[in-house]
Each structure stands twice: as structure tokens, then as C-alpha cells.
Chain A
């Protein structure tokens, strides 16, 4: 009985935790979609709710294809910093890279990614601006 309880606690702790490895894997796939245009991975990267709010999977895929495409082999590993949300089972992640060039200077987007677990896997559920 005690053993079962320990196993149950271990399993439930894992269900609500995330590791650097999982986060790296998510953002590698994310880059594959956004930079490599591998839109077949969209369901593995984004939650259903995200895709609905982005106008649906088809519209989002078409939007992704408008972004500049790079060969995936040349991509550096994404630099991600992330933390667990204080209240809910979610994680807030930020890319170290800046997004766009403006007047020759980098302008950080200032966005955070909201990550949740869907069917046991980390997925991007939305973004949020950098209030502080």
C-alpha cells in the first residue's frame, strides 16, 4: 500500500513537472515549425486552444509560411529561460534571442511564451507581453 502510494506520488509529481530537456525539445520543434516551416509538427508544438485563437490550424500554417525560411541544419539551439508559474500548472518561457531588426538595432519582442501540458506533453498555449 505504502509502495503504491509512493509510486502514485512519483507519477503525479512527474505529470506536473517540466525539465530543461523537455523545454529544449519543445523549442527545437517550435523552431522547426517557425523557421524550417515544418508545419506537420504544429500539433506537437501548440495546444488546440492556441491554434483556435490563431484562427485555426490552416490559417496559422499559412501565416508561418510567410516567415523567412532557413535550413534547419544551420539553426543554433534556441536559448530559452523558463520558470514555473506561481499559481497554476504552467511555465513561462522567454527566448534569449531578439526577434526583429529595427534601425539596425535588435528590438526584443518582449513576449513570454505560456507553456502547458496537453496530453502529458509540453505545448505552447499562448504568449503574453512583458509587463513589469
Chain B
């Protein structure tokens, strides 16, 4: 297995207590698998993805085990993780367009970054240019300052840079959010391309936009309020979801080409529970049409068929 996460718990420190952003998450990503991580804002997907690479100041590791290619990832130890970053696990951040140092030429920054990681620029330069051309950028980009590039160009540069050392796992965090629809498609294709070329082995694509995942992902993991709701192949999740939350999520998607004159677009009524002092039991209980008394106890994330797991008493008891 490429990535194995077991009961991972990552909380945010706040003055009022711990916000339980990632509260006991277990899943795996195979070699060569592109897994989508979906859910609404605040469900913890970004926290989950980012915690695998880089714990920001407020985040604290509470428990759980993370293994990449069999070896443990010491995500609680900032310094120890450096060894793994960029080489084995890498990230394309949400803020890719402002991720490049504005006062350094791009090529120089990359050279200095590589040098600090013990890689000679001259050794990878050809490959770097080749990959840049692959995503539609000219090698000359290296001589420019970030301000001279468009947003899309900067994002593509970041994508190439993040995968330059061929990491086993790439975390792509909301990389299509700031783009228009046609560019979204292009970027999504690029991701798949990277895998085809062997630049990356597996990916976790974090997004709130499920339609992207449909184009790109092999499997989809749906999160709700810091916990897993459902995981299955893209086909299953999109066309035959089991968990009530996933079903409501999918059905609330507008279909292309359909007019919504008479039917109101139904969102999911209600709001997610606060993660500061989350309720006991299933966290979707308050908004779930199928909720029963049993849901006062947290349902386990159980496999209903090969490659498909759900956390719901009604569906997978």
C-alpha cells in the first residue's frame, strides 16, 4: 500500500479549547490511485490533507498512525518530516498563485531550494524544462519573476515544481477552485497526465467540487464534520452512493443541460455541527433524514462491499 492512515486525529488549538478537525480517520491509498477527498467547507478535508505534509502553528497531532510505502511518517515532528517532504510526499497548495517568492527569479528560487535539499540544479534542469513544456510552459519561464506570469502559469509552475522529485504521494489542495471551468478541466487532465508519466505514484485530490473528481479520481472519500462518511470508487459514489450525506450531496448537484424552473435546487438543510465540542454519536444525525435512536452511538466505518466503506447504521449495520 502506498499510504495507510490509521485513526488519525489532528486538532486545532484555540483559546476556547480544541477544535477536532480530523477526528479518527482511517483509510488507505493504493499505489497509482488517485483518491478524491470531498466534503463541504469546514469538514476537515484540507486539514487532513495538509496534516500529512505540514502541521501549521495551530494544528497539533493528537494520535494515529501514518505510513507511506511501509515506513512511518513522523508528522508530529517538524524537523524529522523534512526528510520526507518534497521527495516522498509533496503538496500543491491552495494558494499556488502566491506560493512563489515575488522577489526571486523562478529558476533561481528552484535552484536554491533544490540546493538546500541536496540536489544539484544542473542534474534536474533538463527534466524540469521538459516537464514545464509538458504543461504548456516555455523553459524561459525560469528566467522570469512571478509577477510576470499569469495566475494559470504560476499554478502550473507550482504543480511542476511540487512533483519535480517524483514523490510517492501528492496532495493537491483545492487546485481548481480559483479557475474557470475550462481551465479546471485542463488542470485536472494534467494531474492524470502526471501519473501516466510516472511523476507521481498516488494522489489525494482535495476539493469541494465533486464534478472534478468524477473526471479525475479513481476513488472518492467523503468527509463530514471531521470524520469519514463514505469511501468508494468514483463510479459508486457518484452513481450509487450509500451514505445519506453522500446521497444528499450528489443529488444537490445541478445537472448540466437541465432547467430548474419548477424544482428548487435543494441544498442540504441545516449546518454542520461545531467541531469544538462535537456531539456524541453520528455527527450527521441532526440533518439526516434516516436518523434513528441508534445513531446516538457513533457508527463504525465498515466495508459493505470490496472497495466500498460506509459509516452509517442504516446502510452498513
User: Do A and B make up one complex?
Assistant: no
